[in-house]
Structure 1
Amino acid sequence: MPESDSMGGLGYATFSWDHRITRYMFLCGFVILIYDHVLTLGSEVELIWRRLRRPSAIWFLVVRYIPLACSCVMAVFHLGNLSPERCSTMEHVLEALMFLQESLVDITLGLRVLAMYGFDRRVLVSMLIISAISVGLGLWTFIKFGHPGMLTAPALNLNGCDTALPRATAHREARSWEVQLLADTVILGLTAYRAYTDHEIMKLVEGSLIKRMMKDGAMYFGIIVLANLANVLMLYFGDILTAGMLAWWTTSLSVTLIARLGLNLQRAGAPPPTRTEDLDSTELDAIHFEDPRPPQLLEEATVDDPDFELAAERENARVEVA
């Protein structure tokens, strides 16, 4: 087979550039994921690892560490020195891992929206219909993808695997991501609508869980929607090598934001600190008592002090007794 065919009809310069930019985009998502782990490790230990008996803590760890393991496998795919046969096998595995990660994101987002609406049956049915369509298209795309073709350029001596994504296959994957984009847009719309209808109530309840979910959700869901939109556009307009380069980046960004949402929710629902060494007050059964101030001597008081007269009386009494 001519080498130009093994490169998908791309020239050496184009193939080399596409190979490099796909690695950059993967590393961008991978670094964001790792960096967020490092930044939030202290909060994770305090809010999650010390409360492992709660289902929400266990679910957080599932959403947190399964994508990290998947990204490590993807790093081998992009940076390792693998044969085309091994690359083809790993491509099937990575498609399944990406589907798993997106499922975790969808379930988490769906649960948050259902909680905001008190598990309303109409919202539940709508979410289930959209999720069923998304899962069905995802499985159909995974099955129809068939035996993935691998692009190689022996003359360039490049490491890593390069998956060929022909135009028809890219458009088929784009339809699956479009349903995902629709689901994320619906979630964003439901979150914004809930925040709009309840904004007067939220002003009266400072620091409530619902307020935290709406405030964080509107911003983070919006970022996820924009990332999915960029991925869909790349699937339509990218070439045979770059069409799918934003898929893993979008997934990494989504799971990172979902983890941040989970930590913020855990922090909002955490009990207040109980240490009182550095406080000058006492709390008993939610009633706040101010500690009495010690008696003030006359020489320590000033004329402008509201307790000056009381201090003077105490000083006179002390002198008379003496």
Structure 2
Amino acid sequence: MSETATDAQIQEALILSRILILVPFTVLVYEYLLTLEREVSMFWGIRLTWASFFFYLNRYTSLFGTLPILIQYYSTTTDPRKQPVCRILRGYHQYFALLSQVVVAAMLIMRTFALYQRSKPIMAFMLVVTFGVFVSALVILFSGNDIDTLAPNIAAFGCPEGTSRAKSLRLAGAWSGMLVFDIMIFFLTLARAFKMNAAARRGDLLTLLVRDGSIYFGLIVLINACNIGTYTMSGPFLRGGATTVTNAASSVMISRLMFNIRDPELRRPHSNNTSGTARRLSSTEEPVISTVSPYLTEEEYTQFEDVM
């Protein structure tokens, strides 16, 4: 059955889809200007590592890579001579979304590996799950036979492209794999937080979870779930409309995690601890958001910093 919509409904959907592109781009620009000073002081002029390489890749591809997507969604041309450019922009959008998630996944794996003090079993587990998710996504994306259910007035409406129901369900399946990956990272981080909290015998678990980044990952899981919901429950022009929101939120949060790791005020809260044992914060100390538990020993911090 063909999916139909009036011109007014299409225009309303296009306005919403453009807002879902413009808002995250605005957030990316604002975040970049807000944290540029921190980037200069913490990353510029310092030896390039894999962690800093992925930091730059994540930060600048998300910022500048969103520009062609803005052009795609704000172009309303129906000139047949410009349709090849539109097809290029649509293809770019799909591959850029994939690249963004690969970069974020690489940074999450490195961070979790560092958080577990370079545990090889943990790394092996993460790589197996990641490989399975990646292969499953490729199979879902390239094995389907899409049936175009869009009416002509939906299928061809300038550079913005309506997504058929069949294709949107396959894309939702592919994004579900990323959701599985995010949940894995979330629970690994959560498990580490509980273990450190038990070892320190401290009752303020929420502070530790915020310090350890678990709330960050919980938000990523929630945003990804909402994005999948747009594929399964929205109209043709809004299917996948939260993809740029997901990529921008992931990019901003990962950048913040990296800033916290390199912040001298956060990464060595135990600097006065000369005994080499884990230090507990007193109940009067102001909680700060960090990605490193305050209960790591000097040796554990050194191992973490060698990776990140």
Shorter-chain TM-score tier: 0.7 to 0.9
The normalised TM-score by structure 1 is 0.71
Match of 2:261 among 260, 265, 268: 265
C-alpha spacing 1:145/1:46, structure 2 compared with 1 (3 Å) = farther
Q: Does 1:240 align with 2:236?
A: yes
> In structure 2, what is the Cα distance between the partners aligned to 1:23 and 1:218?
31
Equivalent position of 1:60 in the other structure = 55
The answer to whether the 8 Å contact 1:148/1:164 transfers is no
Quick check: which has more Rg, 1 or 2? Answer: 1
Equivalent position of 2:163 in the other structure = 165
The answer to whether the 8 Å contact 1:171/1:236 transfers is yes
Unpaired segments ≥5 residues, structure 2 = 269-273, 275-308
Residues 143-178 of structure 1, C-alpha deviations (whole Å, 9 max, x = no match): 357899899869xxx8x6222211111111111111
> What letter is aligned with 2:176?
E
**Other structure's SS at 1:51 match:** coil
**Other structure's SS at 2:45 match:** helix
State which drifts further: 139-148 or 85-94.
139-148
C-alpha spacing 1:53/1:203, structure 2 compared with 1 (3 Å) = farther
The answer to whether the 8 Å contact 1:234/1:246 transfers is yes
C-alpha spacing 1:251/1:222, structure 2 compared with 1 (3 Å) = same
The answer to whether the 8 Å contact 1:235/1:243 transfers is yes
1:241: Cα distance to partner? Answer: 1.5
Match of 1:25 among 20, 30, 48: 20
C-alpha spacing 1:137/1:165, structure 2 compared with 1 (3 Å) = farther
C-alpha spacing 1:78/1:117, structure 2 compared with 1 (3 Å) = same
Equivalent position of 1:218 in the other structure = 214
1:53: Cα distance to partner? Answer: 3.5
The root-mean-square deviation of aligned C-alpha atoms, in Å, is 3.0
Q: Does 1:40 align with 2:39?
A: no
Residues 2-39 of structure 1, C-alpha deviations (whole Å, 9 max, x = no match): xxx8xx52111210110000000111111111111011
Q: Does 1:73 align with 2:72?
A: no
Match of 1:250 among 243, 246, 258: 246
> In structure 1, what is the Cα distance between the partners aligned to 2:30 and 2:176?
29
> In structure 2, what is the Cα distance between the partners aligned to 1:238 and 1:139?
23
Residues 253-290 of structure 1, C-alpha deviations (whole Å, 9 max, x = no match): 11111111111111148899xxxxxxxxxxxxx9xxxx
C-alpha spacing 1:265/1:198, structure 2 compared with 1 (3 Å) = same
> What letter is aligned with 2:18?
R
Match of 2:188 among 175, 187, 190: 190
> What letter is aligned with 2:243?
A
> What letter is aligned with 1:114?
F
Unpaired segments ≥5 residues, structure 1 = 205-210, 273-285, 287-322
> What letter is aligned with 2:106?
I
> What letter is aligned with 1:88?
R
| 1:84-95 equivalence runs, <5 A | 84-95=83-94
**Other structure's SS at 2:102 match:** helix
> In structure 2, what is the Cα distance between the partners aligned to 1:216 and 1:163?
40
Equivalent position of 2:95 in the other structure = 96
> What letter is aligned with 1:61?
Y
C-alpha spacing 1:151/1:268, structure 2 compared with 1 (3 Å) = farther
> In structure 1, what is the Cα distance between the partners aligned to 2:97 and 2:171?
12
> In structure 2, what is the Cα distance between the partners aligned to 1:267 and 1:151?
54
Count of matched residue positions in the alignment of Structure 1 and Structure 2? 257
Equivalent position of 2:227 in the other structure = 231
C-alpha spacing 1:230/1:270, structure 2 compared with 1 (3 Å) = closer
Equivalent position of 1:317 in the other structure = none
> In structure 1, what is the Cα distance between the partners aligned to 2:211 and 2:180?
21
1:68: Cα distance to partner? Answer: 1.5
> What letter is aligned with 1:128?
L
1:86: Cα distance to partner? Answer: 2.0
> In structure 2, what is the Cα distance between the partners aligned to 1:45 and 1:146?
48
> What letter is aligned with 2:62?
P
Q: Identity of paired residues, percent?
A: 22
1:84: Cα distance to partner? Answer: 3.1
C-alpha spacing 1:241/1:151, structure 2 compared with 1 (3 Å) = farther
> In structure 2, what is the Cα distance between the partners aligned to 1:51 and 1:152?
55
Equivalent position of 1:118 in the other structure = 117
